[in-house]
Structure 1
Amino acid sequence: MELNSSTLFCNDTVAWTWLSSVQPPFLALISILGVLGNSLVLCVFSLQRKPCSVADVYLGNLAAADLIMVLCLPFWMVTIAQDYQWNFGQLLCKVINTAIPMNYYCSVLFLVLVSVDRYLALAKPMNRTKMRCPKWAKRICVMVWVASFILSLPNLLFRRVRFFSTLEVEACYLAYPHPAWILQRNLTRNLIGFLVPLPVISLCTFHIVKALKNRSLMIQPRVQTERKAAKLVLTVLIVFFFCWTPFQLMRLLSTLDYFQLVSGCLWEDILQIGIQLATYLGYSNSAINPFLYVIVGSHFRKRALGVFQNLLSFRRKSSSSVLTNVTVISKCGDSPKDNRVTPLTLKRVYPPLTHQIVSRSS
């Protein structure tokens, strides 16, 4: 979600009014579905009894990145509903808008890693490398998070909250010190976020599909298990590129706009509205991924069912143990033996009469 000064001064069109009315409910829908779905995925990966595989580590981190992103969207939903009035302070202006681009870099890098892992699992099943070790996969994920944060640092540095008198709003917007930073941002997202990962993912996908068609490999039971995960990964990759390719094309047009090949508020409106629509399509990817795990991932469905069954059985055992203890206590308290009055009971309640008291009373 980006807002700059040109967007603020060239937004008096009917299209912007329509877009501003559609954005809040759409962001609310993405946020609700994304939080529920990605929380479910993380719960399944965290509570499953079997140790996580390398693909689980990468997909779990992908779900964590999606969850962070959808948790940031309600801030912009409220802001857009209030005509871009930012009421959350400058610190959240920087933090929220740094976390959102981090999601994209994390997503594409984790998908590169999971596609490479599927390639090694199917095309090179006999080769055991460090990349196929869960411990090394976790270390690589930490490096991906750090690299994504570094790539998103310009948002942390140049996001500002400023009052625009013409619109009478206090907006959270990008205040680049030089227009060349726009070119740097677009080239970074086009190159690192798309053009460099694309051939790697395409090459791995080609070999994955080729291995899936190889019947001699399908005889091995281990390869059959890897095959199920590969189908899920391929589906996630296809949906990712479907959702984010329009965003990359609009960034390319924004790079051409930097050289002022076309100018004017009309072109600026078309470009900015196109970027907004393409961005929302990309954001929807974070809400779609969890449903892909459930619909396509048969192995994930089995694990999710196992986790829920374990939770239900644990709850039943705990409730049954509590009922058993209560029953035992009630039975012990209601037994006829406990209700009888014995000399020991009288001694506890009434102190024994001493000899002196007896003599005085007589």
Structure 2
Amino acid sequence: MSVATSMGSGFSEGVTAGPANDIREIHNWTELLYFFNHTLPECHMELSESTKRVALFIIYLAIFVVGLVENLLVIWVNWRCSGRAGLLSLYILNMAIADLGIVLSLPVWMLEVTLDYTWLWGSFSCRFTHYFYFANMYSSIFFLVCLSIDRYVTLTHASPSWQRHQHRVRRAVCAGVWVLSAIIPLPEVVHIQLVESSEPMCLFMAPFETYSTWALAVTLSTTVLGFLLPFPLILIFNMLTACRLRQAGRQEGRRHCLLVCAYIAVFVICWLPYHVTLLLLTLHGTHVSLHCYLAHVLYFFYDVIDCFSMLHCVVNPILYNFLSPSFRDRLLSAVVHYLPKVQARADRHASSSSSSTQHSIIITKEGTQPTVAGPHHQPSLSFHAPNTSPISAPQSLTAS
């Protein structure tokens, strides 16, 4: 799913950089592949590829199932209650849509890893799947930044002008984020190709003469736009929000501080190892020389680190939705919305049966048939159980 993935899957697991002069004498991809596969490594490590594939399959599957359920619930509740929910729910809704897009791409990566990076879905899907993943990855990160900034701005700027225009501003920002996220992956995606070797593989294949330059440029842009710029903004504005709440003497100030720490910690844990590993593997052999054992470990565990970076699709719905009492209330309301209708029909049926029984008794005792009152109307949406008492007894029964 990146330059490092292409390098790690295109070359053998025992990739070690040889002398710089030898690399400069290589003139095409065939010679470079032969060089990597036949240069004797300076060190050797026994790392089980089969065990890694099984572990990755299980992790991908768990993230897919849990992330799919969580993000669909978040989208459903926020979309359904968009008119009554908080104003910031627009960013949360869009972030959940982006995370859902990442989750929907996981079956492809899961099968690719299981098949030892063999790509079976054609040239178009090779590029489109990578593009779809990267566009949603950037969108998720950018919406997280927007949410952090807007939360602080809303807390500190309650001017009438902002309140009048905040809906329009948020919609414009969301549209801008989607457009920007659709443009950023293009320089990398245009160089992703389906390589027909012994088995078809989907790889980053920039022109050979400028491959190292392209690889470094793509990696630096991914690191800068995906971590170095978003992380300070998320850190600063979340800390400012927490300090503002504590200064205001809010009772939930301590809880917000803990949530802020969780927001920052999750972002760092998910993305910092990924970007550090990606940068080191891109620089290795051309700009820096890593120790042989370190290079082996980084190439082997890159896929695992890349997989763990997707845990944000599972953690984000919990931190930004399920821990919120208002979201839980809206989720309960959305679920209960469909229950009273069934219960009301059962109650009407029970009331009708009870009423006809009472009427038959009255006819037997009194000999005259009283007027039957219609069933009570039950509301279609209620948080409480509907009234299950039978219809009021006729006057003749009460009189007797």
Which amino acid in the other structure matches residue 335 of structure 2?
F
Q: What residue in structure 2 maps to residue 170 of structure 1?
A: 200
Q: Which residues of 2 match residues 278-289 of structure 1 at below 5 A?
A: 278-289=305-316
Which amino acid in the other structure matches residue 230 of structure 2?
P
Sort the Cα spacing of 1:259 and 1:188 in 2 relative to 1 into closer, same or farther, 3 A: same
How far the C-alpha of 1:207 sits from its partner, in A, is 1.3
**Partner SS state of residue 25, structure 1:** helix
Q: Which residues of 2 match residues 96-245 of structure 1 at below 5 A?
A: 96-126=129-159, 128-129=161-162, 133-165=166-198, 169-177=199-207, 178-215=211-248, 218=250, 235-245=262-272
Q: What residue in structure 2 maps to residue 31 of structure 1?
A: 64
Q: Which residues of 2 match residues 245-284 of structure 1 at below 5 A?
A: 245-257=272-284, 259-262=286-289, 268-284=295-311
- Does structure 2 retain, via aligned residues, the 8 Å contact 1:232–1:296? no
What stretches of structure 2 of length at least 5 have no aligned partner?
Answer: 15-45, 354-400
**In structure 1, what is the Cα distance between the partners aligned to 2:98 and 2:240?**
27
How far the C-alpha of 1:292 sits from its partner, in A, is 2.8
**In structure 2, what is the Cα distance between the partners aligned to 1:15 and 1:42?**
40
Q: What residue in structure 2 maps to residue 9 of structure 1?
A: 11
Paired residues, number: 316
- Alpha-carbon deviations, 1:170-197, whole Å to 9, x = none? 1112112222111111111221111122
Which amino acid in the other structure matches residue 124 of structure 1?
H
**In structure 1, what is the Cα distance between the partners aligned to 2:324 and 2:260?**
9
Normalised to the residue count of structure 1, the TM-score between the two structures is 0.77
Larger RCO: Structure 1 or Structure 2 (Cα < 8 Å, ≥ 6 residues apart)?
A: 1
Q: Percent identity?
A: 25
**In structure 2, what is the Cα distance between the partners aligned to 1:18 and 1:316?**
51
**In structure 2, what is the Cα distance between the partners aligned to 1:261 and 1:205?**
36
Q: What residue in structure 2 maps to residue 302 of structure 1?
A: 329
- Does structure 1 retain, via aligned residues, the 8 Å contact 2:281–2:298? yes
Q: Which residues of 2 match residues 25-104 of structure 1 at below 5 A?
A: 25-48=58-81, 50-104=83-137
**In structure 2, what is the Cα distance between the partners aligned to 1:97 and 1:308?**
36
How far the C-alpha of 1:240 sits from its partner, in A, is 2.1
**In structure 2, what is the Cα distance between the partners aligned to 1:130 and 1:184?**
41
**Partner SS state of residue 84, structure 2:** coil
**Partner SS state of residue 179, structure 1:** helix
Once the two structures are overlaid, the 10-residue window that deviates more, 238-247 or 262-271, is 262-271
How far the C-alpha of 1:230 sits from its partner, in A, is 8.7
- Does structure 2 retain, via aligned residues, the 8 Å contact 1:116–1:201? yes
Sort the Cα spacing of 1:43 and 1:65 in 2 relative to 1 into closer, same or farther, 3 A: same
- Does structure 1 retain, via aligned residues, the 8 Å contact 2:239–2:260? no
How far the C-alpha of 1:92 sits from its partner, in A, is 1.3
**In structure 1, what is the Cα distance between the partners aligned to 2:235 and 2:197?**
46
How far the C-alpha of 1:9 sits from its partner, in A, is 2.3
How far the C-alpha of 1:114 sits from its partner, in A, is 0.5
How far the C-alpha of 1:313 sits from its partner, in A, is 2.8
How far the C-alpha of 1:199 sits from its partner, in A, is 2.3
Once the two structures are overlaid, the 10-residue window that deviates more, 203-212 or 35-44, is 203-212
- Alpha-carbon deviations, 1:277-320, whole Å to 9, x = none? 22112111112222334552122111111111223234545x56
Sort the Cα spacing of 1:82 and 1:277 in 2 relative to 1 into closer, same or farther, 3 A: closer
Normalised to the residue count of structure 2, the TM-score between the two structures is 0.70
- Does structure 1 retain, via aligned residues, the 8 Å contact 2:151–2:241? yes
How far the C-alpha of 1:260 sits from its partner, in A, is 3.6
- Alpha-carbon deviations, 1:239-276, whole Å to 9, x = none? 22221111122233234326342168755433323432
Higher helix share: 1
**In structure 1, what is the Cα distance between the partners aligned to 2:174 and 2:95?**
10
Sort the Cα spacing of 1:144 and 1:150 in 2 relative to 1 into closer, same or farther, 3 A: same
* 4+ residue runs over 4 A deviation: 226-234, 263-268, 314-317, 319-324
**In structure 1, what is the Cα distance between the partners aligned to 2:302 and 2:160?**
43
Sort the Cα spacing of 1:5 and 1:241 in 2 relative to 1 into closer, same or farther, 3 A: closer
How far the C-alpha of 1:17 sits from its partner, in A, is 3.6
**In structure 2, what is the Cα distance between the partners aligned to 1:302 and 1:44?**
10
Q: What residue in structure 2 maps to residue 342 of structure 1?
A: none
Which amino acid in the other structure matches residue 242 of structure 1?
I
**Partner SS state of residue 300, structure 2:** helix
Sort the Cα spacing of 1:162 and 1:290 in 2 relative to 1 into closer, same or farther, 3 A: same
**In structure 2, what is the Cα distance between the partners aligned to 1:174 and 1:153?**
12
- Does structure 1 retain, via aligned residues, the 8 Å contact 2:13–2:300? no
Sort the Cα spacing of 1:43 and 1:230 in 2 relative to 1 into closer, same or farther, 3 A: farther
- Does structure 1 retain, via aligned residues, the 8 Å contact 2:74–2:93? yes
Once the two structures are overlaid, the 10-residue window that deviates more, 255-264 or 240-249, is 255-264
